[in-house]
């Protein structure tokens, strides 16, 4: 393939048709394109009906535990689509982007206040990338101190990205089991501390939806051992204005702006996993960083001890704008976000715990885990599928792994009491169906465009080509 572009100075730098010469190989060209001949109304109805088969938070309740699938206020979308933000070029001169730099600097100040951290990097593009940056900083920190520390302590209630990140950075993982109250077992933690432990990675609240009751003791013991403490802040939605990880003793925390601060989550779109650290680790953060000098904002590229870039440019800027808008909208009332999230979770838990087993009978944070193991093997999967027949998206199932037949449910703060009542009633109805007609639940769903899939085969041998059952006028299979 050959592309020729000629610069037309008289045409203000724009390219005309004559400026472009493209030669494609013959095997990539077609002489006939059998497009269907349909009217506009048929096209509109086709795509409108397709759109109705999609499920999203704008359509219904999305109780995925650990995901915080809250409703996204559309004002945040409008702000991110303002022309000055939408069309911003990453190579723009600093004098031309003072407003955008100011937004990033002010967002950092807001996140510092919310978390109790001293400095933030807005560069990581996902929570897992924020974790990676944190462990990279940990390695650089101990390397400078001439300390060989190659182990990471992680509880069994942590997010799965924690041990994956540690392994990527060539750390050996020490897994600490949960105690009878869903906390990391403090005695086993003490026994695991040694001079080669670099970092303790805690998800707080953990994936059981429980706040770590021993967090002050854990951080104190770690620091006395010379070990850094890392908070997986993916569940920060439960803590706004109530408690700050920096005050709990954590040295680092990442935040998933694309979920906790009401920006689009899921679907493979852009994310933002900003990392906050205490001041003694600030020199290791990636560059460039937004710095305020008197009344001007600049991008400081001084590398120093920096571990280097974690992503191109300055992060996913659109996600930063959405988070900034969300925080400003709540202002000093942001605590209400977490209060409503915790209230909704405990209300829903109360409606269900007499029917489903509760492995840890405690007040939960913003989410909770119940078990359907008394209904038999694969009951959690069957319940999830049956929920679809009632118009609900299933919750997270079989996670965390420490709970058999786990149903992990997070209502978020944006759902109404009426929605939670209906969801709880549906789960209770399904529990009765399992007792009275178990085959009915095992065969669900029945009302969706596609019935139950062979999920193992679908994951290992995906078939992405659909052959139309009818023949076209050329008597050939029409492939779509």
Q: Which fold has domain 335-458?
A: 3.90.1150
φ/ψ of residue 414, rounded to 5: -90, -5
Q: DSSP per residue over 68-93, as a string?
A: ------HHHHHHHTSHHHHT--TT--
Q: What is the reported pLDDT for 234?
A: 94
Nearest CA to 157 out of 232, 219, 49 is that of 232
Among residues 236, 178, 209, the alpha carbon closest in space to that of 352 is found at 209
Residue pair 104/314 in contact by the 8 Å Cβ criterion: yes
Closest CA to 158 of 212, 222, 219, 202: 202
378-433 pLDDT tens trace: 999 999 999 999 999 999 999 999 999 999 999 999 999 999 999 999 999 999 99
Alpha carbons 400 and 413: distance in angstroms, whole number: 22
Confidence of residue 52 (pLDDT cuts 50, 70, 90): confident
88-332, which class in CATH?
Answer: alpha beta
Nearest in space to 162 (alpha carbons), one of 170, 150, 171, 154:
154
Report pLDDT for 113. Answer: 98
Same fold, 88-332 and 335-458: no
Helix (H, G, I), strand (E, B) or coil at 270: coil
Q: Quick one: tokens of 206?
A: 């953990």
Q: Which residue has the higher pLDDT, 265 or 311?
A: 311
- Rounded alpha-carbon distances, angstroms, from residue 474 to 34, 47, 246, 256: 10, 26, 69, 52
Sheet holding 197-203, edge to edge: 119-121, 275-277, 252-254, 228-232, 197-203, 151-155, 172-176
Structural tokens at position 188? 């086993």
Asked whether the predicted pLDDT for residue 329 surpasses 50, the reply is yes
Average pLDDT in the chain: 91
- Which pLDDT does position 471 carry in this prediction? 42
Residue 18: pLDDT band (50, 70, 90) is: low
Instruction: Report pLDDT for 20.
Output: 57
Between 121-125, 223-227, 255-259, 409-413, the lowest mean confidence (pLDDT) is in 255-259
Mean pLDDT of 346-368: 97
Radius of gyration of the chain, Cα coordinates, nearest whole angstrom: 26
Q: Where are the domains of the chain?
A: 88-332, 335-458
Averaged pLDDT for residues 324-343: 97
Two tokens at 375? Answer: 């209904």
How many residues are recorded in the chain? 480
Percentage of the chain lying above the pLDDT 70 cut: 92
Confidence tier at 256 by pLDDT (50, 70, 90): very high
Q: What pTM does this model have?
A: 0.87
Question: What are the pLDDT digits (tens) for 162-186?
Answer: 999 999 999 999 999 999 999 999 9
pLDDT digits 0-9 by tens, 58-98: 889 999 999 999 998 999 999 999 999 999 998 999 999 99
Tokens of 449: 């465009």
Tokens 């969706």 correspond to 448
Reported as a single tens digit per residue, the pLDDT across 94-118 is 999 999 999 999 999 999 999 999 9
pLDDT tier at 33, thresholds 50, 70, 90: confident
CB 242 within 8 A of CB 81: no
Give SS3 for 370. Answer: strand
Percent residues over pLDDT 90 in the chain: 78
Residues 85, 100: contact at Cβ < 8 Å? yes
């Amino acid at each position: 393939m050959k592309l020729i572009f000629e610069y037309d100075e008289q045409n203000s730098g724009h390219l005309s048709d004559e400026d472009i010469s493209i030669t494609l190989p013959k095997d990539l060209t077609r002489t006939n394109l059998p497009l269907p001949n349909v009217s506009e109304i048929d096209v509109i109805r086709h795509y409108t009906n397709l759109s109705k088969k999609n499920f999203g938070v704008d359509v219904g309740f999305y109780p995925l535990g650990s995901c915080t699938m809250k409703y996204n206020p559309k004002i945040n979308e409008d702000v991110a689509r303002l022309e000055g933000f939408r069309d911003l070029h990453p190579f723009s001169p600093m004098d031309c982007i003072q407003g955008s730099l100011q937004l990033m600097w002010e967002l950092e100040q807001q996140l510092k206040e919310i978390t109790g951290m001293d400095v933030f990097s807005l560069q990581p593009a996902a929570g897992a990338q924020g974790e990676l940056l944190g462990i990279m900083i940990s390695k650089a920190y101990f390397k400078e101190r001439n300390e060989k520390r190659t182990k990471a302590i992680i509880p069994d209630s942590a997010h799965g990205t924690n041990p994956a990140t540690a392994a990527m950075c060539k750390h050996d993982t020490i897994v600490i089991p949960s105690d009878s109250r869903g906390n990391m077992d403090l005695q086993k933690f003490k026994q695991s501390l040694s001079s080669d432990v670099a970092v303790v990675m805690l998800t707080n609240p953990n994936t059981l939806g429980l706040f770590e009751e021993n967090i002050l003791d854990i951080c104190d013991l770690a620091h006395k051992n010379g070990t850094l403490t890392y908070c997986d802040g993916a569940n920060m939605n439960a803590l706004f204005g109530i408690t700050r990880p920096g005050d709990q003793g954590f040295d680092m925390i990442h935040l998933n702006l694309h979920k906790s601060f009401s920006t689009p989550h899921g679907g493979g779109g852009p994310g933002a996993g900003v990392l906050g650290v205490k001041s003694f680790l600030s020199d290791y953060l990636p560059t460039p960083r937004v710095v305020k000098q008197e009344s001007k904002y600049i991008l400081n590229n001084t590398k120093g001890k920096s571990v280097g870039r974690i992503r191109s440019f300055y992060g996913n800027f659109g996600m930063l704008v959405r988070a900034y808008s969300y925080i400003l909208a709540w202002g000093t009332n942001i605590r209400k976000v977490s209060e409503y999230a915790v209230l909704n979770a405990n209300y829903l838990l109360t409606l269900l715990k007499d029917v489903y087993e509760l492995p840890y009978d405690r007040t939960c944070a913003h989410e909770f885990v119940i078990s359907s193991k008394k209904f038999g093997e694969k009951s959690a999967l069957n319940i999830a599928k049956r929920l679809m027949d009632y118009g609900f998206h299933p919750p997270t199932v079989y996670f965390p792994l420490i709970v058999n037949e786990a149903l992990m449910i997070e209502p978020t703060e944006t759902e109404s009491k009426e929605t939670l009542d209906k969801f709880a009633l549906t789960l209770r109805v399904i529990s009765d169906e399992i007792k009275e007609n178990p085959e009915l639940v095992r065969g669900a769903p029945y009302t969706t465009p596609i019935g139950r899939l062979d999920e193992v085969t679908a994951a290992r041998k995906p078939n992405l080509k659909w052959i139309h059952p009818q023949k076209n006028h050329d008597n050939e299979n029409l492939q779509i």
